[in-house]
Structure 1
């Protein structure tokens, strides 16, 4: 009888051991599967992030080419045409050509400013404040709008990819301000602290009803927020009809 009980105990212990092994193996397989799923999700998220960065770079490049086209036609082209007219008027004359020289010098200055935009890697070589300064200077130079840029706090280094996203979000806002808002003034501020960069862009345009705004219409708040989410930035847009619109971006350093 004792030997039979001993045999039952051995069998029971063996079964318990087997069950424990099975449970451990099952838990291990679940762990491996979850780990693989997390790695796959992380890789997918990284691919989506890289694709978004690439698309943003293309959009910036396309916008830059449009800007170059406008400047060549509306600004530099007019200056060179003026120089040509002045030279024609002075043909065979002994009058002072300083006016022509000044016009040509201005054209050269405009071309040098424009050359900074032609570089496809411009944002990789300059920091966000300088990139925005070039945009603001261009708006004022072409009389698109009266624009100002102010920087407060000690300037901090920001990841290149984050700068690209931030610049594109602001570029979208600027484009809307100039093309649709009928604003006469644009104010951009960058406020650096140890923890974050707060960017505000404010216009005095016609404003809009945010409750009626959709991702495919108007300023595209959802599109901006989607871009901001890629780099963990908070995006807020406030607008009052006939008083203007303010974009606020908070990027944690």
Structure 2
């Protein structure tokens, strides 16, 4: 009788432990599913937000090209039709005005090109980055360099556009905050991954300070970079110290065919 009771108690205890373990495992599975669903939702939300921004930029690019650019071209053409004597005092003013309009047209074309998603996604990434660096170099305020190692591989158009926007955000941060003299972008292609590095010799900063009150300036830009990096499953690292410049590195696994 005692043996039977002991066996029954052990069986009951065993069942209780079994159901507790089963409940615990199901609870863990449910929590993992919640985390996965939340991450998936955040990813889709971020993707939709970026797509809306890209569509807005594309619309602005088309407006600049089709409307403002054409109006300025017509204005320049009208100036060319004005016939004046060489000794007329208005001649140098008209010539200077035509030159200014020409510069404005070129600046607008450059801006339209940088905003145009279709153009960015169908051009080599190195060419798009080189174009951006060239615009910065022409200001005369910075020395720029683009270095490419390995055979450049075509990227998914959407990923390439996001990488390009990350670089634009980083360059904007450098211009606004870094007080740098030199900017270098490196692209390193290996069979396993593509690595992008953006380095400057500017004032640098404490990355931890971005999460503190008052760090909203650089923080917003770095937040945008971080969000975009997560969207394409890229590994993002930021190395910086006050007075020692900044290095932003983005590593993206190579998609196997």
TM-score greater than 0.5 by the shorter chain: yes
Indicate conservation of the 8 Å contact 1:190/1:200, yes or no. yes
Pairwise mapping of residues 14-25 of structure 1 onto structure 2 (< 5 A)? Answer: 14-25=8-19
Residues 117 and 161, structure 2, Cα contact 8 Å, conserved in 1: no
Q: Secondary structure at the match of 1:236?
A: strand
- Confirm whether residue 40 of structure 1 aligns to residue 34 of structure 2: yes
Q: Which runs of 5+ in 1 are unaligned?
A: 91-102
Whether 2:171 is the aligned partner of 1:177: answer no
Rg (Cα) greater in structure: 1
Any conservation in 2 of the 1:154–1:192 contact (CA below 8 Å)? yes
Q: 1:217 to 1:153 in 2, by over 3 A?
A: same
Query: Quick one: which of 46, 51, 67 aligns to 2:45?
Result: 51
> How many residues are paired up?
234
Deviation for aligned residue 1:247: 2.7
Q: Return the TM-score normalized by structure 2.
A: 0.63
Structure 2: 5+ residue runs without aligned partners? 85-99
Report if the CA contact (8 A) 2:235-2:252 is conserved: yes
How far, CA to CA, are the matches of 1:184 and 1:89 in structure 2? 46
**How much has 1:46 moved relative to structure 2?**
1.9
Give runs of aligned pairs for residues 169-248 of structure 1, distance below 5 A.
Answer: 169-181=166-178, 186-203=183-200, 207-210=203-206, 213-214=209-210, 216-220=215-219, 223=223, 226-227=226-227, 230=230, 231-238=233-240, 241=243, 245-248=245-248
CA shift, 1:175, in A, is: 1.3
Kindly indicate whether residue 5 of structure 2 is the aligned counterpart of residue 11 of structure 1. Answer: yes
1:172/1:219 contact within 8 Å kept: no
> Contact 1:76–1:110 at 8 Å: present in 2 too?
no
Deviation (angstroms), 1:37? 0.7
Q: TM-score, normalised by structure 1?
A: 0.64
Verify the 8 A CA contact 1:190 1:197 in the aligned structure 2.
yes
Checking the alignment, whether the CA contact within 8 Å between 1:53 and 1:165 is kept in structure 2 is no
